[in-house]
Chains A and B, each alone.
Chain A
Amino acid sequence: MPRDDSGLESLEQWMYSVISHPQGAEAGVEANSKPGSEAAYDLEQTVLPSEKLTPLERISVYADMYFWRFIDIMSEEYPTVEHLLGVERFAQVVRDYITRHPSTYYNLNRLSVKFPQYLRNEADEIPHQPFVVAVATVERLMEDVFDAPHKEKISTEAIQNVPGEQWPEICLEFNPALYLLELDYPVNAYMTAVNEDRHMDAPKAQKSFVVVYRCNYRVWRDDLEYESYLLLAQLKEGKSLGEALENCALQEGVDMDKITTNLGEWFQQWTAQEFFCGLKTGS
């Protein structure tokens, strides 16, 4: 394995520390030029000036791009969080996030994995914090669903061919690109409003149930009724349809008539939406 014996490692460490300093390159140079720093270099003796730029201006080109790149990417991943916080506040929150949780993986799709958790635990000062956390959770899940493993959907025929008497025993295998969420805010309605450029105030707390899934290689996000959410959640846990219905009936506030009336239609819809990729009988 090649080893660096040339001082290259400390030079790289110095440059990285300078350009990733949260207060900018000048502060980074200052912090990393003191004797005792892990990799102390004198800027003027390390970077040459060009005809038009000083060493500080030259290394600042990299420093300026460091946070800009992360803000740009996370702005695409979290458009609703950015809308809620405003562009400047969002950029500052991302800078703080990256400073505390720098990217450690080669692929940028993991960059913001900890962002919802960060907003919950380390960003107390942001407005509407619990709602922002809920929105961030959904927006992150949409990224995960986009990249999730692909499994062929189950055909409508396969569903239709199940004999009626076997249905209580049926267990369904779910699309790996599907997540069910119970949220304390009407996140989907708000995200849709923002997406459609409609004004909506940050909502008050109100339970909502959301499914985020991939169908025909596109990521979708739908509100669910409490009953359909409950049933899907039971089925996703691996319960047979019979067990799932029994468990639903035990829950407070569940309208079982709604479930029995809509069951056939729901299954047709869910199958068309590629919720399932296999089934088996529990017996």
Chain B
Amino acid sequence: MSVENRWGFPDLGLGIGLRTVHFNHILEQWPQIDWFEIMSENFMETDGNPVRVLDQIAERYPIVMHGVSMSIGSTDPIDFDYLSKLKTLAKRVNAHWLGDHVCWTGVHGRNGHDLYPLPYNEESLKFLVDRIRTVQDFMERPLILENPSTYLTFANSTMAEEEFLARMAEESDCGLLLDVNNVYVTCRNHGLDAQAYLEAMPYDRVVQIHLAGHTDRGTHCIDTHDGRVIDPVWDLYAEVHRRAGNRATLLEWDANIPSFDEVHAEVMKAAKFRDMTELRHAS
């Protein structure tokens, strides 16, 4: 079964998060990889080496922008200066799409630079939907928002995360980045059924998939992006593929980052779950 996303965003194939430790390898080898995702903020307000490298990479590979600082769920005013810079970068690298997380990162002008959870209820849903619409109008494109890993549940939540996300996407007309590792981590942390979570996803709005490793502390899991994807997460990926068909898929590896070849080999494991006939490679 294959469900197209409603905006016609392409299945870019299998990609890797662009990290500075791999710059030299990429510039020397121009490896066979379908696309790169950049962490938007790493290339904003700098005119140094990362931007020079990114310009060269963007000439050869599709680029997707994924941020951590939009703070779409914060009750602070929307930072239009930040959004303007995001827009400029998107134009510079010809980003296929750009996204961030369903979270807040700070309040009252202070920034914790982490992805904090929202209560999942009607009031926060309405607030969030209005914010997303405002940002999308300014950016002149849909946002592709990711389900976060969460470590607590607010007592005033009245709906499950998957229901909240599905309604948020529908009511704001935004896209979703489905991080299957986050689904696993969140469901483990909250004692939820990951299959039920996936069943509730509106796959016509899922534009991209994330894969990553995490740390299992026994009592809870932390989304550390510091290792390989574990088998239960691959099982969830297979399930998403069964429901949605091929989607642009990206591996995140942000701590204890191994060689490019090792990261590449890890994401290529996703190939066996995909319909390979249409896989494209940048050259």
Query: When the two chains form the complex, which single residue of B71, B75, B79, B114 contacts A65, counting CB atoms closer than 8 Å?
Result: B114
Query: When the two chains form the complex, which single residue of B48, B111, B134 contacts A2, counting CB atoms closer than 8 Å?
Result: B134
| Binary CB contact string for chain B from 209 to 250 against chain A (1 if under 8 A, 0 otherwise) | 000000000111010000000000000000000000000000
Task: Flag if A19 contacts B112 (CB, 8 Å).
Answer: yes
Task: Flag if B127 contacts A2 (CB, 8 Å).
Answer: yes
Task: Flag if B47 contacts A107 (CB, 8 Å).
Answer: no
| Binary CB contact string for chain A from 106 to 119 against chain B (1 if under 8 A, 0 otherwise) | 11110000000000
Task: Flag if A47 contacts B152 (CB, 8 Å).
Answer: yes
B155 contacts partner chain A, Cβ-Cβ < 8 Å: yes
In the bound complex, how far is the Cα of B197 from the Cα of A253, in angstroms? Answer: 76
Interface residue tally for chain B (C-beta within 8 Å) = 52
In the bound complex, how far is the Cα of B44 from the Cα of A108, in angstroms? Answer: 11
Query: When the two chains form the complex, which single residue of B106, B123, B155, B220 contacts A7, counting CB atoms closer than 8 Å?
Result: B123
Query: When the two chains form the complex, which single residue of B41, B51, B75, B151 contacts A107, counting CB atoms closer than 8 Å?
Result: B41
B69 contacts partner chain A, Cβ-Cβ < 8 Å: yes
B182 contacts partner chain A, Cβ-Cβ < 8 Å: no
Task: Flag if B119 contacts A103 (CB, 8 Å).
Answer: no
Known A8-B75, A47-B153, A106-B41; judge A53-B47 contact (CB<8 A): no
Nearest Cβ on chain A to B219's Cβ, whole angstroms = 4
Task: Flag if A66 contacts B114 (CB, 8 Å).
Answer: yes
Q: Which residue of B lies closest to A66 (CB)?
A: B112
| Binary CB contact string for chain B from 72 to 113 against chain A (1 if under 8 A, 0 otherwise) | 001101110010000000000000000000001111111111
Nearest Cβ on chain A to B153's Cβ, whole angstroms = 4
Known A103-B110, A106-B69, A106-B82; judge A147-B220 contact (CB<8 A): no
Which chain B residues border A19 with CB–CB below 8 Å? 112
In the bound complex, how far is the Cα of B126 from the Cα of A149, in angstroms? Answer: 41
Task: Flag if B69 contacts A2 (CB, 8 Å).
Answer: no
Task: Flag if A4 contacts B109 (CB, 8 Å).
Answer: no
| Binary CB contact string for chain A from 186 to 222 against chain B (1 if under 8 A, 0 otherwise) | 0000000000000000000000000000100110000
Task: Flag if A148 contacts B48 (CB, 8 Å).
Answer: yes
In the bound complex, how far is the Cα of B20 from the Cα of A218, in angstroms? Answer: 13
Task: Flag if B47 contacts A103 (CB, 8 Å).
Answer: no
Nearest Cβ on chain B to A3's Cβ, whole angstroms = 8
Which chain B residues border A9 with CB–CB below 8 Å? 75, 107
